[in-house]
Amino acid sequence: MSRKFYITTPIYYVNARPHIGHAYTTIACDAIARRQRMLGAETYFLTGTDEHGQKIERAAQAAGKTPQQLTDEVSAQFRALWDRMGLAYDDYIRTTSDRHKYGVQALWRRIRDNGYIYKGHYTGQYCVFDELYVDAVGPGAPCPECSRPTETVQEENYFFKLSAFEDKLLRLYSEQPDFIRPETRRNEVTSFVRSGLRDLSVSRSTFSWGIPVPDDPKHVIYVWLDALSNYITALGYGSSDTKLYDKFWPADVQMIGKEIVRFHCVYWPAFLMAAGVPLPKGIMAHGWLLFEENKMSKSRGNIVRAETILDVLGADALRYFLLREIVFGQDGSFSFDALVQRYNADLANGLGNLASRTLAMITRYFHGEVPYPSHTAAHTPADDAIAETARRAIAEYNALFDQYQFSRALELAWGLVAAVDKYIVENEPWSLGDKQDEESRARLATVLYTSAEALRIVTALAHPVIPEATAKIWAQMGLGDIKKFSLSDLKWGQLHLGTKLGTVEAVFPRADKSTIERMQKMEEQQRSAPATAEAKPVAPTPVASVPPPTSAASLPDGKISIEDFAKVELRVGQVKVAEKVKGADKLLRLEVDLGTEVRQVVAGIAEAYAPETLIGRKVVIVVNLAPRKLRGLESNGMIVAASAEGGKPVLCGFLEDVPVGTRLK
């Protein structure tokens, strides 16, 4: 029986379109899954979307859609992007699917029947952004996780007896140290659990966008219990067909970002223990992808879309950059400069150049057939040194990859690329090629065989990370379909004499400064596009084909077109926090809830409004205004007011009640 391997990504919220932060996790899992397949394991790779909960319900409301419309659209966007990137997932789970609903309800019943769910009353604070019950006191108190204002929830709820699992969880972390990786996260989780666990509210009755609690449909199941279950419902848990579940559960690794460690390392194993379901073998939490020094996220508005990089440099460039540049487990920065620098150094001038020059010389000097290395006088210690470097690379690359040390693994493999480059320069095959004597021919054969064999080894090792380019190089080397190659068999000396090369073509064309500018421009255009574009399927936007915006100048009397107006995104917000700005008589600092996020806005209204009169008031915000700093505070949006007599600001409002987040058109 072959070895099994099951890997999962978190399922992504559908309140925001995908960006390279989501792609980061999915790419890492894809690379691991591809390598496992190459090693002969029967592999199952799951991803999907998380579609229930108050956050999604409000995002839909703000977009003027039903929750189902929004989730259908955004879930399809994620899926289309993963397909475009060639991510080879085996299943894509949506939490609004029937198979998931039944599975979650089956899990609920098991936990309930085992005595771990009871009914009680909950009064406390809830953070809609994190979908988390928090220890905070008083209406609007800031969430300890994200500092956004929390909402007071008073409900009759179902509770999960989380407190019963304190000791069991602590035992799990100490007996299975690899359950949570890296170690820093394990330590954080351990101290969190040691400080005491309170029972967890696992149902909500104030909104309905969720899975009904079995036998009590007034309540919906807490979104995290719903979401976490995807890892087993996708395999058929709770259904009549449990073949996949029986085969693949428990998961070998569940990959997550570090901000959702508590849900995966405390709640998830506790739910499973309560249901009597085996635990996953390990949870691996990676760090954050930062852009302009902050976590890349929709609420910060600092996202980079994968589409831009795909259009300009291709999926392999993004994959290689993310796994090579960032130490997996730690935070790492993304920039277009660094991306292009890495691309040129390691892919265009590194692997790409090694492939084209080695294969071009074999074509030229040996009619496109791999020559045989000489073991006689034409053989030198430099050849052995390359073979030795390659052997070490194979052994160590595998070990590093297994420990999720992708960047060190790739560094090691590219050490072989550098060694062969140097070897080629020092052995000057082009000079040998000019000579016709037997010794020079034998030496040339050895040098080109050694180079080609090293190229083959790097190509095989790198395949899970850069699948497209390596498949091309493999085919150019006349080796057929790389997917059929068994990585466990990889060793020095397997390249056969006489292997006929295919057509040799460059795989990584060089990039330059204009490549960076092009990508930056594409991203800027996306950011300034009307917000309604957000819910549309993401289409590639080649720079040249973007029509010039209609400008006021082209219309009579300085009028603007409807497109011009649509660029201004006005939304209803609710003031949660208002305070004076020290040293500025006219300014107030506001925190305004927009339904999907809370924004800081600095407004010149202090002379007209006392801060306390504004709390809870609904206002109109220009949300897509570029942020600017006022007295050192970043203002992220503008509050709309009439400028009355003497310039006195009068805030814009509504006679009817309008939900937070609603767009003005």
Give the footprint of ligand MSP on this chain (CB under 6 A): 10-13, 21-22, 24-25, 50, 227-228, 230, 256-257, 259-260, 288-289, 295-297
Q: In this structure, which amino acid lies at residue 25?
A: T
For ligand MSP, the closer CB: 5 or 24: 24
Residue 231 CB, nearest approach to ligand MSP (Å): 7
For ligand MSP, the closer CB: 260 or 640: 260
Q: How does 407-421 read in b/e, with b if 16+ C-beta sit within 10 Å? A: bbbbebbbebbebbb
For ligand MSP, the closer CB: 40 or 144: 144
Give the DSSP per-residue string, 295-323. Answer: E--TTTT----HHHHHHHT-HHHHHHHHH
Q: SS3 letters for 362-412?
A: HHHHHCCECCCCCCCCCCCHHHHHHHHHHHHHHHHHHHHHHCCCHHHHHHH
C-alpha to C-alpha distances, 532 to 116, 570, 613, 664, nearest whole angstrom: 44, 12, 33, 12
Pairing type for strands 618-622 and 570-581 reads antiparallel
- The CA-to-CA distance between both ends of the chain, in Å, stands at 62
Residue 543 CB, nearest approach to ligand MSP (Å): 25
Residue 13 CB, nearest approach to ligand MSP (Å): 4
Residue 20 CB, nearest approach to ligand MSP (Å): 8
C-alpha to C-alpha distances, 478 to 113, 335, 467, nearest whole angstrom: 60, 37, 17
Residue 255 CB, nearest approach to ligand MSP (Å): 7
For ligand MSP, the closer CB: 56 or 432: 56
For ligand MSP, the closer CB: 256 or 621: 256
For ligand MSP, the closer CB: 55 or 599: 55
The answer to whether the beta carbons of residues 422 and 382 sit under 8 Å apart is no
The C-alpha atoms of residue 117 and residue 274 are separated, in whole angstroms, by: 9
Tokens standing for residue 117:
């769910």
For ligand MSP, the closer CB: 325 or 383: 325
The C-alpha atoms of residue 665 and residue 607 are separated, in whole angstroms, by: 30
Residue 17 CB, nearest approach to ligand MSP (Å): 10
For ligand MSP, the closer CB: 94 or 599: 94
DSSP 76: H
Let me know if 333 is exposed, middle or buried by CB neighbors in 10 A (0-12, 13-18, 19+): middle
For ligand MSP, the closer CB: 315 or 445: 315
For ligand MSP, the closer CB: 72 or 259: 259
Residue 270 CB, nearest approach to ligand MSP (Å): 14
Residue 161 CB, nearest approach to ligand MSP (Å): 21
User: Sign of dihedral through CA atoms 223, 225, 226, 232?
Assistant: positive
Residue 308 CB, nearest approach to ligand MSP (Å): 16
The C-alpha atoms of residue 341 and residue 516 are separated, in whole angstroms, by: 10
For ligand MSP, the closer CB: 77 or 389: 77
The answer to whether the beta carbons of residues 275 and 114 sit under 8 Å apart is yes
Tokens standing for residue 237:
């848990």
The C-alpha atoms of residue 86 and residue 462 are separated, in whole angstroms, by: 16
DSSP 656: S
